[in-house]
Amino acid sequence: MGEASGFRRLLYRTPLYRWAMRPRRPVDVATPLAALWPGDAARGRALVDGELALGGRAFTLPDHAWAPADAPADWRAALDGFDWLADLRDLGGDLGRRKARDLVGRWLDRHQRWDPLGWRPDIIGRRVSSWLGHYGFFCASADDDFRERVLADLAIQSRHLARVIDDAAPGSARIAAIKGLLLASVGLTGLDGLLQPALTRLEAALAEQILVDGGHASRSPSVHLAVLRDLIEIRQALRLARIGQPAALTQAIEAMSAMLRYLRHGDGGLALFNGSSEEPGPLIDAVIHQSESRSRLAVGAPDFGIERLHAGRTVVFVDCGHGPATDGRIHAGPLSFELSVGRERLIVNLGGAGLLPEEWAVAQRATAAHSTLAIDDTNATRLEAGALPPAIDVKREEADGQTWFEASHDGYAERLGATHRRRLYLSADGEDLRGEDIVTGGAGKPYQLRFHLHPRVQVSLAQNAAAVLLRLPSGSGFRLRVSGGRLDLGEAVYLGRPGEMKRTQHVLVTGILDGSTSLKWALRREGKR
């Protein structure tokens, strides 16, 4: 388990190892596969012109190397994964096809030997899946030499993947690696022996990663979406090959689809918790459609840890996650909330979309980047590797369309001797949200209560800085009143969409804890302008 040892790294780089992995007889397509997800024709057009945008960061591809020298590792990993072939496919015509062949050929020229990034198990899995899914687009009509070269290299990559698949990182990376192995086993001749090991690992990964409520163990809506996409692709490959699918796969897709519906705001995008982005609505629609799920909406997410309050046109999400998360980094946003009205977002977390520079990748994980309360501008959760989120207790009642919600966390108990409890009330028409943030302990420490606003919200102080007026683009207005602290406005940055770092504002309430502090606030709708 873990990364390849030094000895294995040396072995993988040798011509002898590649010779051992090569197929003993010509490889052909056993089962034609088809990519399922939409691309972006505009990005495809830019790629034809030499510029590739991945995770919101664009670089010019060099003429005499595979990756730009100044591109970060996560960008180069996305480049090596070849998901961007969908953009060239959706460009249409022969222009995108020729560019795809050119770039696949360049990869083959420059990756005859193993390297730790391009041959990482999850990256191989994504590349193999993308090449097979887009084979009919860029390879089927190519000349015999190119086609044979691609198929032979697919076999080499897949056989190597079978040897190193248990080195894949836990979480979504392991699912991606398994997907590549499984698609290769049914998509190519001579690799059917890889099928059963792939299915065995798939069932183990599903048992480890898919929670009882249907959420992914990462507790990230974006990762949840990515894993569901992978599972749907696996199901499609098994169907095309006329192979029965495991019951665990069917159940996971059904449950995850219901949870995906649960995690959507009124605009169709995802809630911004644990490093998520809004994600494109058409993509989410396509995933839900391809899931073939009969479930409409999950009834709750006690394991995933996101509470959803819904009344009228208002949707409120609250982060109540507990327990260790897979797929990376802890986010310090316990009890943070988001609110949308119809198709417009009002209160948000700052998000963590795309491939962020390291300083922003750390900043967007902080408590200050979430719509919640911080003490002494300290993170409510330690961000170090291996740290656990705080314990969170949740109570909820509903009657006559009204919702009462209460939750508390102990993230500050050990370091600052304080606990934070948040109470919410949402009226039956969704036009009145009341809250109370109660801090027990921590006397003498400063606190900061933040309400981050979506960039399209207009905001102004009112009533001698005793209230804030919020205006949505549609003209709908809301008044936020707070008692118990100093009210002000501050600058912030919204990272909800890849490649977009938008200036925005937050409402900031500050003061000093007295050992038993109660901050009451109310967000009520007012007439349209």
Beta carbons within 8 Å of 384's beta carbon, 6+ residues apart:
none
Min mean pLDDT across 144-153, 315-324, 358-367, 427-436 is at: 358-367
For residue 305 the two structure tokens come to 């840890």
pTM attached to this predicted model: 0.95
pLDDT of residue 324: 62
pLDDT tens per residue across span 465-515 = 889 999 999 999 999 999 989 999 999 999 998 878 899 999 999 999 999
pLDDT at 1 over 60: no
pLDDT band at 335 (very low <50, low <70, confident <90, very high): very high
pLDDT at 418 over 90: yes
Average pLDDT score over residue span 209-214: 96
Residue 460: count of CB within 10 angstroms of its CB: 11
pLDDT of residue 5: 67
pLDDT of residue 382: 83
Average pLDDT score over residue span 290-310: 91
pLDDT at 2 over 50: no
Average pLDDT score over residue span 130-155: 96
pLDDT tens per residue across span 245-269 = 999 999 999 999 999 999 999 999 9
Q: H helices then E strands: how many in the chain? A: 16, 18
- Mean predicted lDDT score pLDDT of the chain: 92
**In contact, 455 and 504? CB cutoff 8 Å:** yes
pLDDT of residue 458: 97
**In contact, 524 and 470? CB cutoff 8 Å:** no
Q: Which residues make beta-bridge pairs with 60?
A: 51
**In contact, 370 and 450? CB cutoff 8 Å:** yes
- Could you tell me the CA-to-CA distances from 425 to 164, 307, 320, 373, 375 in Å, in that order? 51, 13, 16, 17, 23
pLDDT tens per residue across span 6-20 = 777 777 878 877 788
Determine the Cα–Cα distance for residues 477 and 459; give it in Å rounded to an integer.
10
What are the chain's domains?
Answer: 6-168 (no CATH), 307-526 (2.70.98.70)
